[in-house]
Structure 1
């Protein structure tokens, strides 16, 4: 369990779409935006964890058509988010210093939805739960499904802990990070990174 927790935490800490989205939304919506995005991401993980436990993820990865369909939707979603973020950078750059505060106009469901879809539509997350997680199942276990769900719960808990702290950290330094000139640069880079992740996902095979 300890080995799995360490390996899982290292994977969670690696830069990816989750980190980009939490950063973006913590700057846009403050602590609430970042934490709700994290909760959405955790819910997206539970979709793949649950389906992996009952064997549906394996069927998804075995079907080239299903895998490709999910990948196309995921790529389109990340590209859309990236383009929207880069477009928002144009308006941010022309704002004044008095505007360097969180924008709470976005509904809480939007932050949840973005985090959820980012993971739920990512076939690489399904691949993780089907290939990485089983390596840590005890060979002599009498309940592999129960053990898989337990490890999935550990992974989700570490995800919540890491990105929860990360969102609070971004919000803590938000006053400086939300300065129009700084935030515009961050949004441009964020948009480019999201599109880059989309391109990487587009080339993924199963």
Structure 2
């Protein structure tokens, strides 16, 4: 794999990572309510899921997932249901905030690190779009004669590093903002907005079709 191919893949992956999606919304929801460490636990969950999708793609299981209408639909609906559940929980928390929420700052450890990690993991592990991206990218950037497994995992590592850097920076940004916007009113507004967005992402994922 040449440096030109690596740079090209990195640019494509960076554009994908930086585009609006459930990962950024999860970070925006986690850090102000549960702290910076929980945000980094989200990111660790993202990265774990990418390696999982990469391994499945290399083993060929993702081909079955994409080509089998039933398997694709099951995974897609599970992912949509999970995003919908997160959205509804956020909307419920915003609705139950009440008037006193304007004066009371949220707990800094609402989420354990384990829970934040699992949220990040499931948000990506149940999203078949990640496998679809790898299946589309691997043949484009692996030259004939290269070791497919090594080259594929190289691409997964690059994608994971870009994710870690981008969302790690986002964690730091929201941590700084949270210290200035820590009032209950802002927290209630944030939960309401993220709840609506997650429900929207759930609907979008539910309508996704295999290509």
State TM-score, norm by structure 2: 0.91
CA gap of 1:137–1:88, structure 2 versus 1, over 3 A, is same
Does the Cα contact within 8 Å between 1:30 and 1:102 map onto a contact in 2? no
Q: CA-to-partner distance for each residue in 1:137-191, whole Å, 9 max, x for gaps?
A: 22x3421221111011110011011101111110011123332222211211100
SS at match of 1:126: helix
**Counterpart position of 2:151:** 147
Report the CA distance shift for 1:131/1:93 in structure 2 as closer, same or farther (over 3 A).
farther
Partner of residue 73, structure 1: 78
Following the alignment from structure 1 to structure 2, what is the Cα–Cα distance between the partners of residues 22 and 40? 11
Which of 95, 107, 110 aligns to 2:112? It is 107
Given that 1:71 and 1:122 are in contact with CA atoms closer than 8 Å, whether structure 2 keeps it comes out as yes
2:190 maps to 186
Q: 1:164 to 1:146 in 2, by over 3 A?
A: same
Residue 37 of structure 2 corresponds to residue 32 of structure 1:
yes
Q: Does 2:7 align with 1:2?
A: yes
Identify which of 148, 160, 171 aligns with 1:167.
171
Q: Which deviates more, 158-167 or 92-101?
A: 92-101
Cα distance change on mapping 1:165 and 1:141 into 2, 3 Å = farther
Do 1:101 and 1:175's aligned partners in 2 also have CA atoms closer than 8 Å?
Answer: no
Once residues 133 and 178 of structure 1 are traced to their aligned partners in structure 2, the CA distance between those partners, rounded to angstroms, is 44
How far apart, in 2, do the equivalents of 1:93 and 1:159 lie? 36
- In structure 2, list runs of 5 or more residues that go unmatched: 1-5
Could you state the TM-score of these two structures normalised by the residue count of structure 1? Answer: 0.93
Q: Are the counterparts in 1 of residues 22 and 201 from structure 2 also a CA contact under 8 Å? A: yes
Q: Which runs of 5+ in 1 are unaligned?
A: none
Deviation at 1:39, TM superposition (A): 0.7
RMSD of aligned residue pairs (Cα, Å): 1.6
Residue 175 of structure 2 corresponds to residue 200 of structure 1: no
Alignment of 1:47-126 (within 5 A): 47-92=52-97, 94-96=99-101, 99-100=104-105, 102-126=107-131
